[in-house]
Amino acid sequence: MALAKDENHNHGEQEQGRCSHFLVVAYGIQGHINPARTLARRLARIGGCTATLSVSASGHRRMFPSHGISCDEEVSDGLISYIPFSDGKDDGSWPTDSEDRARRREANFRSLSAVVDRLAASGRPVTCMLCTLSMPVVGEVAREHRLPISVYWIQPATVLATYYHYFHGHGELIGQHGGSSSTQDQVTLPGLHPLRISDMPSFFTEKTPSELSKMLLPAFRELFEQIEQEKLIVLVNTFDALEDVALKAIQPYMDVFAVGPAVPPPLGALPQHKDASEAAQIHLFKHDEKNCMEWLDAQLERSVVYLSFGSLLAYTKRQAEEILHGLQSHGQPYLWVVRKEGRAEEVDSCLREAKADSKGMVVEWCDQQKVLSHPSVGCFVTHCGWNSTLEAVVSGVPMLAVPSWSDQPMNAYLVEEEWRVGVRAERDAEGVLTRDELASRLELLMGGSERSGQIRANAQSLKERAQEAVATHGPLERSLRSFISKSMENLDQSRK
């Protein structure tokens, strides 16, 4: 990422934001870092505000590889600062058991407390802490330092409402249905449209809870208990025009501010006085941007199938083969992202065949926002992670939703049923997207049918609504200013 000083970030200074310093804490993974960074930068652009982003040391090193291996080094991009915290291991691994989790939680507490002390000693006292999703230790640090804390929910408001009701009387009802895929098995939660059980967050419906579920579901329960007991403010990465029903449904239960979409504008859409770092995303994986964009430049408008399943999913050999043959059967140019990190050797033979295909390009990673905003891209085959979903919405690209776990099934429901900007593909009994399913759904999405035309029109309309949300003095800015005022009131209360 190019680090460039922004001389204009105090333009339009407001009394309400004076002396506010937000410490935004995020997990050091791709899907948390970028929305957290975007929020921090937007807060810092409100007159009188400053912001610091703190991620785990392993993530910090990958963000700034040219700065060496020092865990303590602070970096600035001219608008916000970046300071890492340590979990005691700093190797990017996840806890292996309850004892390991407890040790890391204690290390995180000590390290984040030291970050707060360090900022105060340098004349930049923190006035509010924020954390992405469930990071209970951040609440402990905030209480220790008598600081207000807010939660940054980086999934949809619909999922926020669903978790709330799961922990408030509806969990048993949802759990009774297990992993049902029947369209008849539905539940109606207060204020929301009826939802299929199969569209619920995967942790609710696993027949045999995974180790990840055993770790995350209790953490989410603790988070919602904290939100309720301490009346925490919750910032949500969404906007009113996207999820008005869900936002209204959750407002009776918590203090919610819609502060999305947390997707920086494409570089070409920036005013001339803004620097390139405003549009830049953090990439924890190396990518060959030049070849990728030159290949896209050579393709016809809206002809390319872009396929990426995000930063976490690993391919089996069978899944890679099915996708390759499905793309080849469809017959349109395709850009396929398959990360090298964690990739099995048996997948490589399939990728060699794809790379030899004159219609295809396979890359290990790419600047997804730039790809989606390119005119040659006709659709996005996505796992429906929330960041990817919002990037497609902002770019006006129709989606073929292939959800796997966590919030992804719910995101796919929103794409297909509520917004009607895409279609969903179903996996087989082994969890594989088959070649026939991929090819047939692509034909439905990119063909000349009335439905495909309506989907493209809906996607374009939603793109325009997203642009309205982030416009100067628009809903996003007003929401941030209201949050800043409320956070300063909470600071006064916490120190009485």
Residues 73-103 have pLDDT tens digits of: 899 999 999 999 999 999 988 888 889 989 9
pLDDT recorded at residue 193: 94
Task: Tokens 């030291």: give the residue.
Answer: 114
Its pTM stands at: 0.92
Q: Taking a C-beta distance cutoff of 8 angstroms, is the pair 410, 162 a contact? A: yes
Tens digit of pLDDT for each residue in 171-229?
888 877 665 555 568 899 999 999 999 999 999 988 888 888 888 899 999 999 999 99
Over the stretch 483-495, which tens digit does the pLDDT of each residue have?
Answer: 999 998 988 877 7
pLDDT greater than 80 at residue 275 = no
Mean per-residue pLDDT, 424-438: 96
Per residue in 23-59, pLDDT (tens digit) is: 999 998 889 999 999 999 999 999 889 999 999 999 9
According to the model, what pLDDT value does residue 358 have?
A: 86
Residue 67 appears among annotated catalytic residues: no
Q: How far apart are CA 141 and CA 156, in angstroms?
A: 27
DSSP H helical ranges for 231-267: 240-250
How many whole angstroms from its chain centre is CA 301? 28
Q: So what's the pLDDT on residue 379?
A: 98
pLDDT reported for residue 285: 67
Q: pLDDT per residue over 230-251, tens digit each?
A: 999 999 999 999 999 999 999 9
> Per-residue pLDDT tens for 277-327?
554 667 666 777 789 999 999 999 999 999 999 877 789 999 999 999 999
Helices (H), 91-201: 98-121, 136-144, 157-165, 171-176
SS3 labels along 477-488: HHHHHHHHHHHH
Distance from C-alpha of 330 to C-alpha of 383, rounded to nearest angstrom: 19
Quick: pLDDT tens for 406-430.
Answer: 999 999 999 999 999 999 999 999 9
Among 115-124, 270-279, 388-397, the range scoring the smallest mean pLDDT is 270-279
pLDDT value of residue 30 = 86
> In the chain, what are the domains?
15-158+206-265+471-494 (3.40.50.2000), 286-468 (3.40.50.2000)
| 86-95, 252-261, 275-284, 346-355 — most confident range | 252-261
**In the predicted model, what is the mean pLDDT of the chain?**
89
More confident residue, 23 or 347: 23
Q: Is the pLDDT of residue 15 over 70?
A: no
Token digits of residue 295: 């290949």
| Better-scored residue on pLDDT, 445 or 93 | 445
Start-to-end Cα distance in the chain: 42
Q: Which pLDDT score is estimated for 183?
A: 57
Give the active site residue among 32, 325, 374, 383.
32
Q: Of 124, 181, 133, give the one whose Cα is nearest residue 29.
A: 133
pLDDT (0 to 100) of residue 280? 62
